[in-house]
Amino acid sequence: MTVKIFLTGATGAMGIPILEQLLQNDQFHIRILVNPTPLDLKIAARYQDNPRVEAYNGDLRVYEDVKRGVDGADIVLHVGGIVSPMADYHPKLTMSVNYGSTLHMLRAIQAQPDPQRVKFVFISSVVAFGDRLPPIHWGRTGDPVKPSINDYYALSKVASERAIIESGLTNWVILRQTGLLSVKTARVMDGIIFHNCLNNPLEYVSDRDSAVLIRRICENAPDHFWGRVYNIGGGPSCRMSFYELFKAMLSRLGIDDLSQVLETKWFALRNFHGVYFLDSDELEQMFHFRSDSMDYFFDIYIKELGPLGKAAKLMNRFTLTKMLLTKILYNRFKKLVYSEHGTMRYIEDKNEECINVLFTSREKWDAIPDWEDFPLFTDWQNVIQIDHGYDETKPESALTLEDMKSAAEFRGGRCLSNTMAVGDMTTKLNWQCAFGHTFAASPKLILHAGYWCPICENHSWNYQAIAKVNPFFAQVWRPLHDEDELPHEYSIKVTPEDIQAEFGSHA
């Protein structure tokens, strides 16, 4: 029996291996929307003679183009979108493409003869968690959603998640993709690299493992899989701090002393995303997709260095050539760190907002010690689990209005509804946050996905103020920020409401 799949982003870093995996199953007929750029058209041309691939040119921001792909599909795989570093340069475009396309997807699915028959797989991201530096470096679904300040890619993903969960559809799933080990990742040459913190944790996964996961979901996902949010991670062999990642990469080149090619003051102290997952094994137990470790990426990295990667070990044999190698690498990294979005460009330009976001203050940046005194974290196995504010030993089918009231109180607010069917996680209830905003949201959105007040979330990054009145959120903010830190509030320049207004009835 033919299974019709609509795949977006098929010419991207994650989409290409997904398409290759889907083609291993003869039952799959795959329709792909191709952004008509020269590169995307060249990649799509590889499949022009394959009768099971139907490619058409289109724009994710155009409803008719999206609906053409959705019409008649059994499974919709929404993988496409704008990612960093491009997303960091084009906030409006990122929100329009990423969030706007999701609104189009939902409308197109709901326009089908039987919307509940269509299975919708949305690739979200670990960016939903924001920074989770030690000691709160272990996380799971249901932890507070906290997009990093000025991260519009993250905003586009969390806005999309909220829309999907509250769409009224039943056969959806949100997969929070972690850092992707791929050729494209190895080719990133942008100052955004140094927004990452040396002690930042991240549980990576390879592009081919993620692709295997998506194929197996399309082949045989059980009924209980749908209607939930999951974290995609590669497991223990793919967990590394950013310091450990750099150390391992450079050791492949024969460089064991990071001070020869990097400076500690180049790396931000906070506001990047990253977490070790407590629950990424859940997908592995269902679909058995993992096969790669971090070595997969290191092999790619050396290969992408070209002649320099091949010559590195030879150059390390002699003092003068080793000095040349370290100088080449130092200058490469220095060029990035002083580029438009590089941390040292912010310092040099006295960009106070970016300095405050990444370092707290110029004084905190000045105080960053050199390598010999830098406090590298080591107690990675110590787990501080975030409290979700209700009795998690109860199955969802047994949760009551009292559980909702408990969860709301722990978030500094109230559940205003007077009735709730036991175990009903999808019918919206009425809530009030600590600032008096009232809103409607499903228990699934609040308890399972980690969301709270959309008014607080969508208009500014006001995390210091929120943490003072919301004990649930304070767990992921207070350990990383001083009690007397200035209460900076950063405006969101392109809000989800802006995108909804632009897309009009399509939203």
- Lookup: tokens for 170: 């039943």
- Closest Cα to residue 289, out of 238, 338, 331? 238
User: How far is residue 396's CA from residue 105's CA, in Å, rounded to a whole number?
Assistant: 28
pLDDT of residue 313: 76
Q: Which residue has the tokens 């050539």?
A: 321
DSSP annotation string for 371-428: GGG------TT---PPP-SS-TTS-GGG--HHHHHHHHHHTTSEE--S---TT--SS-
Residue 30 falls inside a structural domain: yes
**Same domain assignment for residues 152 and 31:** yes
Residue 318 falls inside a structural domain: no
Among the candidates 251, 266, 287, a domain finishes at 287
- Lookup: tokens for 106: 């939902």
User: Where does residue 142 fall: left (phi above 0), alpha (psi -120 to 50 degrees), or beta otherwise?
Assistant: left
Residue 370 falls inside a structural domain: no
User: How far is residue 39's CA from residue 44's CA, in Å, rounded to a whole number?
Assistant: 9
Q: By residue range, what is the domain housing residue 117? A: 3-180+204-234+279-287
**What is the domain count for the chain?**
2
DSSP annotation string for 430-444: EEE-TTS-EEEE-HI
pLDDT of residue 504: 61
**Same domain assignment for residues 431 and 283:** no
User: How far is residue 282's CA from residue 296's CA, in Å, rounded to a whole number?
Assistant: 22
pLDDT of residue 506: 42
Residue 103 falls inside a structural domain: yes
pLDDT of residue 486: 65
DSSP conformational letter for 370? -
pLDDT of residue 298: 94
**Same domain assignment for residues 283 and 408:** no
pLDDT of residue 505: 45
Among the candidates 246, 270, 287, a domain finishes at 287
pLDDT digits (tens, 9 = 90+) for 135-164: 999 999 999 999 999 999 999 999 999 999
pLDDT of residue 314: 80
CA distances from 84 to 95, 152, 156, 179, 503 (A): 12, 9, 12, 11, 23
What are the residues whose beta carbons fall under 8 Å from the beta carbon of 137, sequence distance 6 or more? 201, 274, 275, 276, 380
CATH at residue 14 = 3.40.50.720
Which residues are paired to 21 by β-bridges?
none
pLDDT of residue 507: 39
pLDDT of residue 164: 97
**Same domain assignment for residues 283 and 409:** no
Counting as low any pLDDT under 50, the low residues of the chain are 505-507
Residue 109 falls inside a structural domain: yes
User: How far is residue 13's CA from residue 82's CA, in Å, rounded to a whole number?
Assistant: 11
Residue 499 falls inside a structural domain: yes
Sheet holding 119-125, edge to edge: 53-57, 28-34, 3-8, 75-78, 119-125, 172-177, 228-232
- Lookup: tokens for 201: 């944790």
Handedness of CA 326, 328, 332, 334 (dihedral sign): positive
Pair 399, 429: CB distance under 8 Å: no
Taking the whole predicted model, whether its pTM rises above 0.85 is answered as yes
Residue 447 falls inside a structural domain: yes
Residue 361 falls inside a structural domain: no
